[in-house]
Structure 1
Amino acid sequence: MTVITGRPFHVVGAGCSVGKRGGRLVAFKEGLPRASAPLTMISEVLVSGRVQVSTAAMHALLAHDIPLVLLTENGRPLGRLEPPSGAHVDARRAQLALHSDPDARLDLARAAIAGKIRNQHVLLRRRARRASEPEAVWEAARRLSVLETRAANCDSVPEVMGVEGGAAGIYYRAIRTFVDPALEFTRRDRQGRDVVNALTNYCSALLRETVVSGILAAGLDPFVSFLHEPARGRPTLAFDLMEEWRPVLLDARVLVLIGLKSVTTADLEDDGTARPRLTADARARIVERFHARMAAPARGWPEPPSRRSYRDQVRVQCTALRTWILGRSDGYEPFAWR
C-alpha cells in the first residue's frame, strides 16, 4: 500500500480501506491502521483500485466539503463524490482567469519547457555510455543545458516554443545514437511508420491518461491550458504538464523497450491506415512495463519521500499546479529528474 498524507490524502493498494475515527480519516491495510490525517487538514481523498470506503467516511467527507476521487488501478478516473460546493470550483475559476493572463501563460510556458529540456539532458547524460557516439551525446547534453537557461528567460510564448523546437532537434539526433539502425528511426514523427515512433505514440497515450487523472484529481479543468492552445476535445492542460515527464516516463521507457527487444519491428501490423499499429500482444507488454515504471520510486531533486512512486509524483505535480493557480505559491516548479 502507498499512502501520501498532507493536503491530498491518497490510498493505493489492494486490501485497503478508508474509515473515520473521531475527527480523523484513517487508511487501513488488512484491517490494521497504516496512516491517518485530521479531516480539517485534507483537501481531497484519492483511492486507487479496489479500496473500500466506509459510509461514515463518505458522510464525513461530504460534511467537510472534501471530494472523494475514485481511480482504477491504472489511474483512470472513475468518478468523484463531492458536495455541490466542491472546492474545485474556485480552482477552475482561477484557472480560467490565469488562462487569459499573458504573463501567467508565459510563466508556465517557461517553467514547463525549461523543465522538459533539463530532463532531456539528464536522460542523455545517464545513457551516454550506451550510445554509438558517446561524445556526440555529451555535446548534445551541453547544448541542451544552455537552451534550458534560454527557455527560462524568454520574453514570449512563441519564443519559448522556438527554443523547445531547437532543443527537440538536438535531442532526437542524440536519441538516434541509442537506437539500432535496423529499426529505421530517423526522427520523431507522429505519423512515422517505424516501430520507435509507433511505440512512442502508444506510450504517449498512456502518459496522457496518467496526467489527465492527476489533473482531475486536483480539481482542475484538463481542457484549459497555458502553454498549448485549447482545442475542442483535446486535454491541452495535460499536454502542458506532460512536457516535464516526456524524457522521464516516455522516452526512457521507449529506449528500455527497444533495448531489451521487448517490442520489435515484427510487432507492427498494417491495417490499411496511414500508419501501422502495434499488435495486441505488444500493447500488453508495453502497458505492463509502463505501469511498472509508474510504480517505481520517483528519483527527483529535491529527493521525494522514499515511498513515493512516479504515479504519486505526477499527482503531486498536478496539485502543485493548482497551488500556483490559487495564488498560494510564487510559481510552478516542474519535476527535476536526477
Structure 2
Amino acid sequence: MRRLLNTLFVLTEEAYLSLKNENVVVQIGDKKLAAVPLRSIEQILCFSYKGASPALMGKCAEFDVNLSFYSPNGRYYCSIFGEKNRNVLLRREQFRIADNEAQSLPIAKSFILGKVFNCRWVLERTKRDHALRVNVERIAQQSALLHSALAEMGGCSNIDELRGLEGNAAKNYFLAFDDLVLRSKDDFYFEARSRRPPLDRLNALLSFVYTLLTHDCTAALQGVGLDPYVGFMHTDRPGRVSLALDLMEELRPVLADRFALSLINTGVIKPVDFEEQENGAVFLNEKGRKVVLSAWQKRKTEELTHPFLKEKMPWGLVPYIQALLLVRTLRGDLDAYPPLMWK
C-alpha cells in the first residue's frame, strides 16, 4: 500500500477494501493493514482481485473519492465516481487544451523534453558502465546531439516544429542504439527503427514492449479520469490512444528500451524466441511473448526514487504517478507538467 499525491495505491493482490467509520480499511483475511480517512484522499487505485465492499463504494461516491479497479498486472477494469463527478470538468479542460495549440504546446514540450533527456542518459549510462565494450566516441557524439536538441526544444514555437525536432532526436538516438547491445550482436543487430512490420529481432522486441507500455499508460489515464484518446502532441485518430502515446514518450527510453536491452544483454531472450515470416517480418513467438511478459511484470516491481516527488516507488507505478501529475497540471495545481527525468 502506498499513499502518494492524495491517492491511495493498494498494490497487494489479496487485499480487500471495506468501510469503517468513514475510513477505508485495507485488510488481508482478518488482518488489518491500514485505515485511511476518506476525507483525506482524492482517489483510490486498487490493484487487487478481491475488490471492495458495496458500502465503501457507496461512501466513495458520496465523498467524491474516485475508486478505480485494476487487475494485479495493471489491466484497467472500471471506476466508481461520485455524484458531482469532477472528471467531467477535468475532461472538458483536457479537450479545451487539446484544441488550443498555444495551451497544449507546453505540455507536449514537457513530454518530449523528458524523452530526449532520458534518451541521452541511456547513452551516458552505457558509456559510463561499459566503456571498454562500446564505441565511446560514437555514443558521446550522439549524446552531444541530444543535448543540443534539448536547448532547441525550449524555443520551439509550434507542435509541427516540435515533432520535427523530436524526429531528429530519435534518429540520432537510434544511430547509437546498436552500440548498446553487448552480446549476441549477430542475432540482435540494430540498423534502424522499423515498424509495421519490424524487420529484425530487436525491432520486434521493442515493438512488443512498446505495446505493453502503451497499455499501462492507457490504464493509468483511465484510472485518473482522463480520456486516453485525446492527446496534446499525437493527433486524434479513430482507435488511437493519443494521450497514452504522449505520456509514454518520456518513459520509452527508461522503461521500454532499457528493459529490452537488458533482456538481450543478460541472455533472457534468445533467437529461438522469434519467428520470421515470408515477407521478412519478424515477431516474438508464443514462448518469447511469455518470457517477455514474465520479465516485464518482474521489472515493474523494481524500485526507483521518483526525481520529482523524491519518493521511492516501484517502476510499475510510474505511469500512474505521471498521469496524476498531468491531472494536477490540467487543473492548474502545477504551473507546468514535470516529466520523469531519470539519471
**TM-score calculated relative to the size of structure 2:** 0.92
SS at match of 1:217: helix
Is 1:242 aligned with 2:248?
yes
Is 1:194 aligned with 2:200?
yes
Distance 2:144 2:246 in 1: 25
Q: 1:20 to 1:65 in 2, by over 3 A?
A: same
SS at match of 1:295: coil
SS at match of 2:231: coil
- Verify the 8 A CA contact 1:194 1:265 in the aligned structure 2: no
- Verify the 8 A CA contact 1:106 1:156 in the aligned structure 2: yes
> CA deviation digits over 1:16-43, x for unaligned, max 9?
1222232322323454443443212222
Alignment of 1:1-338 (within 5 A): 2-83=1-82, 85-128=84-127, 129-130=129-130, 131-179=133-181, 180-190=185-195, 191-272=197-278, 275-302=281-308, 304-306=310-312, 308-338=313-343
SS at match of 2:148: helix
* Structure 2 segments unaligned to the other structure (5+ residues): none
Q: Match for 1:167: what amino acid? A: A
Q: Match for 1:335: what amino acid? A: L
- Verify the 8 A CA contact 1:244 1:334 in the aligned structure 2: yes
- C-alpha RMSD of matched pairs (Å): 1.9
SS at match of 2:121: helix
Q: 1:249 to 1:46 in 2, by over 3 A?
A: same
Q: What is the Cα deviation at residue 67 of structure 1? A: 2.3
Q: 1:141 to 1:299 in 2, by over 3 A?
A: farther
Distance 1:213 1:59 in 2: 23
- Verify the 8 A CA contact 2:5 2:324 in the aligned structure 1: no
- Verify the 8 A CA contact 1:195 1:264 in the aligned structure 2: no
Q: Match for 2:219: what amino acid? A: S
> CA deviation digits over 1:38-65, x for unaligned, max 9?
2122222111132441232122112112
What is the count of residue pairs matched by the alignment?
Answer: 336
> CA deviation digits over 1:136-159, x for unaligned, max 9?
212322221221122132111111
* Structure 1 segments unaligned to the other structure (5+ residues): none
- Verify the 8 A CA contact 2:15 2:50 in the aligned structure 1: yes
Q: Match for 2:282: what amino acid? A: P
- Verify the 8 A CA contact 1:299 1:337 in the aligned structure 2: no
Distance 2:13 2:221 in 1: 23
Distance 1:303 1:19 in 2: 29
SS at match of 1:59: helix
Distance 2:22 2:103 in 1: 38
Q: What is the Cα deviation at residue 303 of structure 1? A: 6.0
Distance 2:218 2:76 in 1: 8
Q: Match for 1:19: what amino acid? A: S
Q: 1:148 to 1:300 in 2, by over 3 A?
A: farther
Q: What is the Cα deviation at residue 181 of structure 1? A: 4.1
Distance 2:92 2:252 in 1: 28
Distance 1:234 1:279 in 2: 25
Distance 1:323 1:64 in 2: 19
Q: What is the Cα deviation at residue 263 of structure 1? A: 2.1
Distance 1:304 1:36 in 2: 24
**Sequence identity, in percent?**
25
Distance 1:165 1:315 in 2: 26
Distance 2:311 2:50 in 1: 23
Distance 1:158 1:278 in 2: 34
Q: Match for 2:37: what amino acid? A: P
Q: 1:97 to 1:136 in 2, by over 3 A?
A: same
> CA deviation digits over 1:212-231, x for unaligned, max 9?
01000110001111011010
Q: 1:270 to 1:143 in 2, by over 3 A?
A: closer
